[in-house]
Every structure is written in structure tokens, then in C-alpha cells.
Structure 1
Amino acid sequence: MIVNDSLLYSACPPRNKGIWAGLWKISYGGLIKMVTGSILTVYVVFCLDDGMVFVDREVPPRFMYPKEWQHLTMFILLALNGCVDVMSNNLLPQRCVLLEKGTVALTFYVLLMLLVSHVQGSAGVELQTHSLLIMVVFLMMLVLTIQLWAPDAVHLSLIETFLFLMMGSWLVQVGFILYRPVSGYPWQDDDISDIMFITTFFCWHVMTNALCLLGIYSIASLWHRCHSPSWKLTASTEAPYYMSPEGPVYELLPEVEPSEKDEQALLLSESAP
């Protein structure tokens, strides 16, 4: 973004440059989504002693493990999202950014519904952690929906990146809060100070991720200024030209002698349609 160059939406690589060129241009983000979603799906299926039982055999039958089935649905969505990214980047003749953005937006719509249902019956610490996560997912859903009509908006891309950082870091924090507290003692649902500190930790995540983005931008800007100090000067010293759909029509010529000007005017008048 510093050099005003869109590297995120580059075209698909040609298929006649060898295997290594194809591997270099593969969508590693989509591949990571596929692998991670598949591993987590297998983990959820085999983490239970009696397996992922859908309904029991009692009368009347009851649905079993509702939260585990919701986790399974979330991980399957992640894997499918990665499949769409790989297909758009490496299998289609031309990359379809709208397809990728639409898939991510649809994924977050489903994720929001699952999370709202996921907190049913929760209270105290678990409810507070998931409520803050739902807020981040809701904001992400709005940003991704707006990006369907404005995919090249720089500010929306920055907000999307920040919300993804918030979602990832807060999920890690929630895992430690609910399952592996750092102190070794479980958080207390009836202690109001624990609920308040959860919100405080969330605010610390907001500040940390904002500083992370600011640091990345500062380092990238400094590196660009040190290694490319004259790119603007080079661009400004080039002769201006007028573009058409087929290419440049003509280029402004430098100052020449009067006799040369007459010859150039004659040539231009003869070559003009």
C-alpha cells in the first residue's frame, strides 16, 4: 500500500513456466486453511471417547454433543474456504476476487449464527469471553460485506486485517482462560472482578494488535524509504503521455529547434487519420 501497488489481487501465474514456478505461485493462505481445518476436523471427531454420536438410542431420542458439532461445522467451513482460495488462485483461468470475498463473507455469516447459538446456557466467564468474540465476528461480517462492493478500499483492508488479528489473538486467550489458566486455578463465574478483568484483557489485545499494525507499517515505510528513495523522482521526471485502450497515443516531445518543430509537425499531420 505504501507504493500504491496491488499485490494481493495479482493474476494467476502462467502454466508454461514449469513446476517450481507453479509451486511458488500457489495460494499458501488457502492451503493453510485447508490443512488446518482438516486437522481440527479430525481432532474433533476423535477427541470424544464414544465418537461423534449424532443422537442417542433412548426414547425419545436426543441430540448429542451440540457444541462439538458446532465446532466441527466451523472447522469444515475453514477447510472449504481454503478450497475456494486455492481454486480461485491456481485452478481458474483468471483469479476471481469476488468469489473469494463472497466465500469469506458467507463463512462469517454462518460463524456468527453458530456463535450466537453457542453461548446458549453459558454464564459468567464463558459468556463474557464469547460475547466479546461475537462482537469481533459481527464487525468482521460488516466489513466483508462492504468489501463485496469496494474490494480495493485500503481502509477496509486495514480494518479487516486488524479484526483478523483480534479474532486470532483473543481465541488463544480464551483457550487459556477456559481450559488452561496461567495461574493454575479456574476462573470464578461468581467473582465480578474476573468478569471485569476479561474485558480489560480484551482492551489490551486491542491496543497490542493496533501497535502491531503500526509497527509493521513503520518498518515497511522505513525500509522502502531507505532502499527506494528516488522512485517518486524517477516517476516525475518521465515524459507525460496520453493513454488509450490500445496504449499510448503519443508522447510529448522535448524542446527542439524551430526547424525540427516544423518537420515534426509535418510528419504528425501526414500520419494523423
Structure 2
Amino acid sequence: MGGFEGHLYPGLSLFFYGLYHTRLVSRALICNHHVQYLPRHPWSTGRWARLRQIYYVGLVKILSTFILVAQELHNIQGPLVLISKIYHQRNFLYHKQWQHLTLYMTFFLSGCVDVVSQNLLPQRSAALEQGAQALGMFLILPLMLSHLQDSEGVELLCHVLLIQALFLLLLVVIAELWAPNSLQLWVLKAFLYMITGSWLIQIGFMLFRPISGHKWMDDDKNDMVFVTTFFCWHVASLVVLMAWIYGFSFLWYCYVR
């Protein structure tokens, strides 16, 4: 996730995935049904009847992975190799890029499992989907921890706050394996996905395209303090956003539909 685009695109993917979960939770609370999935459309006849029965979440995950991988490869100068072979030395190359690609593969794995479970198996397996999601988060966390090695100052603090959100998200998805229909866990999961995504986008702007036009300074205490302040503002803003989505959903399902 190097550069501005490397933070923007993954952040948008995670943020919109969190919005999707917020929609699921809101509809489950209002319509009093299981939070796991949106109900299928009733079977109908016609050319496009089968397409109305397909769950597209897994396909969107796979498509997002291809976009993220293409963006990562586009930013690499020269061939992508794992180990250099200069004389008798063997050095690992592009360590951050390989970390990013490994991270994206967790999204791809989760998307493939979703597609198989939701559209190919005779009966949908929620445990399989949630297990793949938990495995992906378990792999992402150590990758992000090792990502801190070359960071300092503002960049280090930004990524520490990101890892804090990822760690809480890991705990939630693990707990969800034992309580798959817990509304409290789904609310937390939706919120943490959105905060992870929005904060990734914020990191991209802070490190590479500051809105003020002035670079954030590692030796400026005010800049360091405001990093944490901005993170808290993200948390508060997303709480308001989730409340607004629930309110809009309540009006939609109770008075419009």
C-alpha cells in the first residue's frame, strides 16, 4: 500500500464493505430477521431470473483484489522478483510490495470462499465464510506489524492507530465464529471495517497529499497530537454515519416500502 493510491483504493474497499455490513445490520434490526444475509429474491421466470439469485459480494471482493494487485504492480519499477542473484549474495527484494500482494491475496481468498459458499454449494455455509474472513484478518495483522519497521514519526503513529483498529476487528471476527448471529458483533464489525477504511484513506492524504499543502512534520509535537485527534474525529463521525444509515433504513422499510 505504498503511495497515495496504495492507501486510497484499499481504504475505499474496506469502507464500502463496512457500509454494506451496516446496511445488513440496519435491515436485520428493523425487519427482525437474521443478520447474516439479505433475503433472496423470489424465484421468477425470464432471461435474467438466475442473475437475481446470485450474491455479488464475493465477486466484488475478487474484482477489488484484481484492481489492487494491478495498481501495486503498476507502481513497481522493473520486474517483480523475490530474491536477487548478484554474485553469491541472495537478498530479498520488494519486501513491502510482497507484503501488500500477500495482504490482497487474503481478500481474494475470502472472495472465492464467499462465491463458492453463496452460489455453488447446495446449502450456504456461514461458518466457512466467517472462517475465511477470520483467517484473512489473522494474516493481515502480522503483515501490518512488520510494516512498521521502516516507519517513524507521523507515519508510525498513523499505522499504530490503524493496527489498533485491525486488532479489534480480528477479535470481533474470531468471536463471530461462536456467535454468528450476534447483532452486537455485526455492529462492531461494520464500524471497525469503516474506521479501518476511512483511516487508510486519511493516512494517504496525510502522508502523500496533505490537504493544507504543508507536509506533516515528525518533529512537530502539534502534528503528532493532531494525528490522534483526527483519528478520534473519524470514530465520532462514523458513529454518526451509522446512526444516520439506521434512521434512513427505518424510514425506508417502515414508511416507503
Aligning the two structures, in what range does the TM-score lie when normalised by the shorter sequence?
0.7 to 0.9
CA contact (8 A) 1:12 1:94 kept: no
- Which shows bigger deviation, 58-67 or 217-226? 217-226
Cα distance in 1, alignment partners of residues 74 and 156 from structure 2:
26
Amino acid of the structure 2 residue aligned with 1:47? N
**Would you say 1:202 and 2:231 are equivalent positions?**
yes
Deviation at 1:180, TM superposition (A): 1.4
Residue in 1 that maps onto 2:69: 41
**Would you say 1:92 and 2:124 are equivalent positions?**
no
Deviation at 1:18, TM superposition (A): 5.8
CA contact (8 A) 2:198 2:234 kept: yes
**Would you say 1:9 and 2:45 are equivalent positions?**
no
Deviation at 1:10, TM superposition (A): 5.9
Which gives a bigger RCO, structure 1 or 2 (Cα 8 Å, sep 6+)?
2
Cα distance in 2, alignment partners of residues 119 and 18 from structure 1:
54
**Would you say 1:141 and 2:167 are equivalent positions?**
no
**Would you say 1:222 and 2:251 are equivalent positions?**
yes
Residue in 2 that maps onto 1:64: 93
Tell me which of 175, 179, 188 is aligned to 2:217: 188
Deviation at 1:186, TM superposition (A): 2.1
Cα distance in 2, alignment partners of residues 184 and 54 from structure 1:
37
Question: Over residues 125-182 of structure 1, what are the superposed CA-to-partner deviations in whole Å (9 max), with x where a residue is unaligned?
Answer: 1111110110011000101011101101111111111111101111111111122111
CA contact (8 A) 1:12 1:89 kept: no
Pair 1:107–1:17, CA change in 2 (3 A)? farther
CA contact (8 A) 1:26 1:86 kept: no
**Would you say 1:20 and 2:27 are equivalent positions?**
no
CA contact (8 A) 2:36 2:181 kept: no
CA contact (8 A) 2:55 2:115 kept: yes
Cα distance in 1, alignment partners of residues 155 and 251 from structure 2:
42
Tell me which of 187, 198, 218 is aligned to 1:158: 187
Residue in 2 that maps onto 1:243: none
Q: Greater helix share, 1 or 2? A: 2
CA contact (8 A) 1:84 1:100 kept: yes
Amino acid of the structure 1 residue aligned with 2:56? Y
Query: When the two structures are superposed, what TM-score results if normalisation uses the length of structure 1?
Result: 0.78
Residue in 2 that maps onto 1:175: 204
Tell me which of 111, 126, 131 is aligned to 1:102: 131
Deviation at 1:222, TM superposition (A): 3.1
Query: Pairwise CA RMSD of aligned residues?
Result: 2.1
Q: Across the two proteins, how many residue pairs are aligned to each other?
A: 228
- Give 1 or 2 for the bigger CA radius of gyration: 1
Question: Over residues 24-47 of structure 1, what are the superposed CA-to-partner deviations in whole Å (9 max), with x where a residue is unaligned?
Answer: 232222111101101211222232
> Equivalent residue of 2:69, what SS?
helix
- Which shows bigger deviation, 177-186 or 143-152? 177-186
Mind listing any 5+ residue stretches in structure 2 that lack a counterpart?
1-28
Mind listing any 5+ residue stretches in structure 1 that lack a counterpart?
229-273
- Which shows bigger deviation, 84-93 or 219-228? 219-228
Residue in 2 that maps onto 1:128: 157
Residue in 2 that maps onto 1:248: none
Cα distance in 1, alignment partners of residues 84 and 41 from structure 2:
51
